[in-house]
Structure 1
Amino acid sequence: MSLVEVKDLSIGFGDHTVVHQMSLSITPGQRVGVVGESGSGKSLTALSIIDLLPESANTTGEIIRNVPAGESLRGKHIGMVFQEPMTALNPLMRVGDQIREALELHLPDIDFTARVSELIAEVDLPASVAKRYPHELSGGQRQRIGLAIALAGEPELLIADEPTSALDMITQAQIVALIKRVCDTHNMALLFISHDLGAVAALCEHVHVLEKGKCVESGSIETVLKAPQEAYTQRLIAAARPTRRRLKTREIGAPLLELDGISKRFKLPGPFWAQKAYVQALNDISLTIRESECVGLVGPSGCGKTTLSRIIAGLQTAQRGTIAFDQHTYGRKLGEMPHAARRELSMVFQDPFGSFDPRLNMAQSLYEPLYLMPELGHAERQERVHMALERVGLTPDMLGRHPHAFSGGQRQRLAIARALVLRPKLVVLDEPVSALDVSIRGDVLELLADLRENFGIAYLFVSHDLDVVRAVADRVLVMDKGEIVEQGDVDTVFDAPKARITQQLLGARLGV
C-alpha cells in the first residue's frame, strides 16, 4: 500500500499551468527523488501533498494519502524540511522551544524536555543549541533544527526540499548521511527534492525528472542517472560538472582590494551578570584581489566566510585591521564606507529571500541601487535593469512580482541581477549559485565570466562547491576557524592540497 499516491496532478495560477499531470507513488520506507530546474514545479508538487499550496492555486487530479480520518496530516504523518531554514524558523523563538512546540502539537503525553534533547542529539547537535535563536546558528545547524522539528511528530514520510543547497561539502555530506540514517532508523519514507544530482544519487532509489512542470523521465536511480534516455536529463547530468572559464583577452590588473590584519570576534549569549565569552570569527586575515581577478573563498560552514564578506561590503566592522578598496580605506566603523566606494562594490547574499524587502516588488528592488548613479536617465536605468534580467535568464514581465512569488532559484538570479546593474569594479558573491539548478548555474557562471571579460569586474567568489570554484577562480583561499590556512593557484591547491580541511572538503564531494 502506498503512503502517498499522486495521480495526474496539475497546478495552475490563473490561466498559467505550472505543473502538468504529475504522477508519483511513495511506499513505506521508499526514498524518491524529484529533480529539475528552478521553477519546474518540484516544490509546488511537495506542497500539494501536505496541503500547503497558496489559496490562489488551482488544482486538478487526485492525491491519495494513507492517513487515518481525523488525524493531523502535517507533522504527525508527513514532516517537511523547507528549502530556506532561516525563513522557516521563527526568529523570535529559541530553537529548543520550536522543537517543543511541534512535540506539544502531536505527542502531548511525553516528557518534552527529555524528547527535545533526544531530537537535538539525533541530528548531531550539542544540547546547548536549544537555547539559541536561529540567527545564532550556521546554515547547516539551522537545517538540522528543521529536520529535528520534522521528526518531532514521528512521521511516516519526510519531505526534504533542497536541504543541502547552501551547505559546504562536508556539511552537505553530513546532512545527506543524517537523512539516510534517520530514514533507516525510523523506517521512514522520503521525498527528496533537489537540483543536486549527486545528493539524489546518494539518497534515493527512484527519481522523477521534471522539465517545465512535466515529468519527462522517471525510474530507478541506476536507470535514469546512469543511462538517461531523455535529452533534458542528459543535459542536467552533463551540466553537473561546470566547464572552465578563464580570461581570454583581458589581463589581471593592479591591486583593487587589500585587507590587512582583519580580526573580528562576537560575544556569545549569556546572562548579563556572567563573565562575557567570545568567539573569534576572524583572526588576522590579509588578502589582495586585483582588477579583473576572480578569487575563490572556500571552507566549512561557520569558518567565517560570510563574516569576512560582510566586512568587505561595509555591512559589519572589524575590531582590528583595515580595508583599502579603490583608493578608499574603511573597516573599523559601521557606515564609514565612502559613497563613491559603494558604487563600485556590490554583494550577492547567501539567503536570497532574506536579502529582498518583502514589501517591494522586483522593479523597486532592482532600480533601487541605481539611485547611487543620479547621472543616469530613466531610459539608461531601464536598459540596465532589463539587460541584467535577460542575462540571468529572466524577463521584464516579472518585475511586478514580489519576492514570495518566485522560486528559490529565481530569487537567487534576481539577487545577482541587482548586484550587476551598477556594473561595479568588485562583486562579493556569497554562495551565488548554491540555490540554482545545474543548467541555470552554467548560464550564470557564463554571465559572470562575460562581465569579467567585457567590463573587467573582479570577484570574491564564496562557495562550498569546489567544482564551481575550480571552474571560475584564478586563485583560491581556504578558510578554517577564522583563518586562511591555504591559498594559491586553484589547480595547485585542489590537485595537491596541504591543509587537512582542504583534503576533507575535496573528499566529501558527492558525484553523480
Structure 2
Amino acid sequence: MTELIRVEDLRVVACGERGEVEIVKGVSFALEQGQVLALIGESGSGKTTIALALLGYARRGCRLSGGVVRVGEHDMLAVSESQLQKLRGNRVSYIAQSAAAAFNPAKKLIDQVVEGALIHGLGSRVELEAKAVDLFRDLSLPNPESIGQRYPHQVSGGQLQRVMAAMALISDPLLVVLDEPTTALDVTTQIDVLRAFKRVVRERGATAVYVSHDLAVVAQMADRIVVLNDGQILEQSDTAPLLAAPAHDYTRSLLAAARPDATIRPPSGIAENTPLLTINGLTAGYGNKNAQGMPLIRVLEGIDLTVRRGQAIGVIGESGSGKSTLARVVAGLLTPALGGLTFDGQPLGGRLSERTPEQFRRIQMVFQNADTALNPMHSVGAIIGRPLKMYFGLKGAALRERTHELLDLVRLPHALAERRPSELSGGQKQRVNLARALAAKPDLILCDEVTSALDTVVGAAILELLRDLRQQLGVSYLFISHDISTVRALCDDIVVMYSGHKVQAGSRESFATPPFHPYTDLLIHSVPELRQGWLETCGATSGTLPPVGARAAVPELCTFLNLCPVRIDGVCNRIAPPRHSLDNGGEMLCHHDGAQLIKTQRGLVVETSGAYA
C-alpha cells in the first residue's frame, strides 16, 4: 500500500507567562492510504494537539516548533498560510467532538455542508448538493433528500454528528481527522454513528485519524493504535495484537478503565433498611399547564422510587429519558405536577420555598460539567468554603482546616486551594465539584452524569473515589448515567428509564442475567466490547421488527413500542403494559413476563462473549 501520512519528530510547545513548555515531545508515526489510525490517551496526553498538527494548525497559546508532518506530497509545517487554507476542508478535513457547537444555527444544513466545497471550487451548487444527498444516504440519515433543508436544532445529536461527517467527506479528502466524534452521544446513538462512519470510510477508501480516550470504541474503528501519555508515544501497534497483549502498563490501565464494572465493586453492608428518600407517583414536565394542572410537555410519568440510607441507586437511560429531570425534582429545581416526595420521614416540598434550610443542606447535587458548575473567578478554597460558611458559620483557621480536610477526602493537594478552576485538569475540577457537595455534610448526593465528560481513566478514578467516600461517610447516591457499565460499578440497585417511564428496576445482581426489558437489553448490547468485530455483530439479534397495526387511543401505551423487537400486534399497540415482579426480585413494565423474555435472551449470554458478566 501507499504511505499517505508521515509524522517525524513532531514537537509542539505551549507559550505562557513562564516561557515555553513542550507538550508534544518528538512524536513519529506513519499511515498508509485507506487505513484508520487511532490516537488514544487520557486528557492532556496530546492526542488532539497532534491531530490538529495534521492540518498544520496549533491552538491559541501553542506553536508547532519542529518536525515533519507530511500529508500526501504536502509538508503541513512548511507550506504557507495561504496554501494551508487551500488544503484545509479540501485535502484534509476535520470532524469535531461537538457538532452542536460547530454549526451555524441560522443556516440550513445543506448550505453548511456544501459551503467549503464551493469555496474550494470543487463543483457547482447543484452537483455538490446532489453529492451531499448521496452522503446523507450513505451515512444512514433519515429522509436524505430533505434533511438538508432543516436547521441544526431540528435534528438529533447523532444525526448532526453524521451531517458533520458529510461536510468533511464531500471534498473527497486525502485525510479525515475525527476528534472524539461520539464521546457526547448516548451509547445506542454511538453505535449508529460508528457504523455509519466505518462503512463510509471503508467504502470510499478514505484515510482517517481517529482521536479517542476509549479503547473499546477504537477497537471497532482502527487498523493501528498509537498510545499517548504526556505528549509521548508509549506504544504503537496494529489493533489486534495491542488489544491481545499490550506491552505498556499504561495501555493495560486503559483496557481496565474501558469496563469499570469489571474492576470496581460497590461496598457491601453499607445500605440500611431505613428509607431516606421516597418518591410516590411522580409526574413532572415543562411548559404551560392545562386545565388539569398538567404540563404540556411531560417528562416523567408515575415514578415510584425509594433510596435507603447508605444506598446507591443508579438511574440509566438515553438523553430525554427523564433521568436528569428526576434529579432536578429531588433537588427542588423543578416542581412536580403530581406525586409526593418524603425525605427522612418528613414531606419534601416541590418548591425551594417549601423546604427547610436543613433539607437544603442534606441534599446536594454534583453536576455533569464542572467547567460550568465552578465559578471561574473564585479560587478552589473559596468555592469549597462557601457552603462551610453558609451552613456551619466557619471562618479563619477553622475554615482553612475544614477545606484541607475536604481536599484530603477527594484526594487533592492542599496547594490547589489557591488555584482557580482554569488551572486544573478535568478530573481535578470534578473532584472540587464533589468536595463542594461534601462540604455540606449531605445525606444524599445527586450525581448527574459526573463521569460522562471525563476520559475513561479519570472517570474510573472518580468512580473509585465515590465508592470509597460512600464507605467512609455512609452517604447515599442517586447516580445518573447513560452507561450501564458505569452504574454497575458503583450502585446497589439500578433503575432503567425510557421516555419518562421506569421500565425496569432491580438489584445490581439482577442485571447480570436475563430477563431484561427489551430496552434494557438494547442498552446492555450497546456498550462497546474490547474486541474487533463487535460493531458488526452487536444488535444483530433484534432482526427485523415485527409488524404492528395502528395504535389504539390509549395514552399509557408502551413508549418503546416502535423500537421493540418482541412487540406483539394486537396487544402492545392496544393495551397499556402491566408492571410485574420478576423472580430475581426486580420489576418490569412489559407485556412479556420474565419467562418469555428469558427464552429470547438466554442464548445471547453465550453469544456475546461476556456482555452480561
- Residue 420 of structure 1 is aligned with which of 431, 435, 438? 438
Alignment match, 1:124: 141
Alpha-carbon distance in 2 for matches of 1:142, 1:385: 43
Letter in 1 for 2:444: L
Alignment match, 2:92: 78
- Normalising by structure 1, what TM-score? 0.84
**What do residues 298-335 of structure 1 show as CA deviations (whole Å, max 9, x unaligned)?**
1233222222222222233333333333435233x476
* Cα distance, 1:338 vs structure 2: 4.4
Letter in 2 for 1:438: T
Alignment match, 2:348: 329
Alpha-carbon distance in 2 for matches of 1:32, 1:413: 33
* Cα distance, 1:427 vs structure 2: 1.5
Change (3 A) 1:159 1:390: farther
Do structure 1's residue 43 and structure 2's residue 67 form an aligned pair?
A: no
- Residue 193 of structure 1 is aligned with which of 211, 214, 235? 211
Partner SS for 2:465: helix
CA RMSD of aligned residues (A): 3.5
Change (3 A) 1:103 1:34: same
Change (3 A) 1:114 1:372: farther
Q: Which moved more, 1:155-164 or 1:296-305?
A: 155-164
Q: Is the 8 A contact 1:297 1:305 kept in 2?
A: yes
Partner SS for 1:495: coil
Q: Is the 8 A contact 1:107 1:153 kept in 2?
A: no
- Residue 246 of structure 2 is aligned with which of 228, 245, 250? 228
Partner SS for 1:373: helix
- Residue 28 of structure 2 is aligned with which of 23, 33, 41? 23
Q: Which moved more, 1:370-379 or 1:445-454?
A: 370-379
Change (3 A) 1:115 1:450: same
- Residue 118 of structure 2 is aligned with which of 93, 102, 107? 107
**What do residues 166-212 of structure 1 show as CA deviations (whole Å, max 9, x unaligned)?**
43332222222122123224332222222211111111110011122
* Cα distance, 1:254 vs structure 2: 1.8
Partner SS for 1:470: helix
Q: Is the 8 A contact 1:197 1:511 kept in 2?
A: no
**What do residues 394-434 of structure 1 show as CA deviations (whole Å, max 9, x unaligned)?**
54555666656655555444444443343422111122222
- Residue 247 of structure 1 is aligned with which of 267, 270, 280? 267
Do structure 1's residue 487 and structure 2's residue 505 form an aligned pair?
A: yes
Alpha-carbon distance in 1 for matches of 2:48, 2:470: 34
Do structure 1's residue 213 and structure 2's residue 218 form an aligned pair?
A: no
Alpha-carbon distance in 1 for matches of 2:160, 2:401: 39
Alpha-carbon distance in 1 for matches of 2:200, 2:311: 44
Letter in 2 for 1:263: T
Do structure 1's residue 463 and structure 2's residue 478 form an aligned pair?
A: no
Q: Is the 8 A contact 1:358 1:402 kept in 2?
A: yes
Alpha-carbon distance in 2 for matches of 1:403, 1:123: 41
| Unaligned 5+ runs, structure 2 | 75-82, 289-294, 531-613
Change (3 A) 1:378 1:56: farther
- Residue 97 of structure 1 is aligned with which of 101, 104, 108? 108
Larger Rg: 2
Letter in 2 for 1:80: Y
Alignment match, 1:6: 7
Change (3 A) 1:34 1:460: same
Q: Is the 8 A contact 1:430 1:463 kept in 2?
A: yes
Do structure 1's residue 353 and structure 2's residue 371 form an aligned pair?
A: yes
| Unaligned 5+ runs, structure 1 | 269-276
Q: Which moved more, 1:390-399 or 1:427-436?
A: 390-399
Alpha-carbon distance in 2 for matches of 1:209, 1:494: 32
- Normalising by structure 2, what TM-score? 0.72
Alignment match, 1:64: 70
- Residue 301 of structure 1 is aligned with which of 315, 319, 331? 319
Change (3 A) 1:37 1:330: same
Letter in 2 for 1:446: E
Partner SS for 2:348: strand
Q: Is the 8 A contact 1:168 1:463 kept in 2?
A: no
* Cα distance, 1:6 vs structure 2: 2.5
* Cα distance, 1:502 vs structure 2: 0.8
Alignment match, 2:199: 181
- Residue 291 of structure 1 is aligned with which of 299, 309, 316? 309
Matched-pair identity in %: 33
* Cα distance, 1:128 vs structure 2: 6.7
Partner SS for 2:497: strand
* Cα distance, 1:8 vs structure 2: 1.6
Q: Is the 8 A contact 2:180 2:211 kept in 1?
A: yes
* Cα distance, 1:129 vs structure 2: 9.2
Change (3 A) 1:119 1:322: farther
Query: What are the residue-to-residue correspondences of 1:490-505 with 2, within 5 Å?
Result: 490-505=508-523
Alignment match, 1:274: none
- Structure having greater relative contact order (Cα 8 Å, sep ≥ 6): 1
Q: Which moved more, 1:388-397 or 1:282-291?
A: 388-397
Query: What are the residue-to-residue correspondences of 1:290-439 with 2, within 5 Å?
Result: 290-326=308-344, 327-331=346-350, 333=351, 337-358=355-376, 362=380, 364-386=382-404, 388-389=406-407, 392=410, 394-395=412-413, 397=415, 408-409=426-427, 411-439=429-457
Alpha-carbon distance in 1 for matches of 2:425, 2:62: 15
Do structure 1's residue 32 and structure 2's residue 50 form an aligned pair?
A: no
Alpha-carbon distance in 2 for matches of 1:137, 1:368: 41
- How many residues align? The count is 499
Letter in 1 for 2:460: G
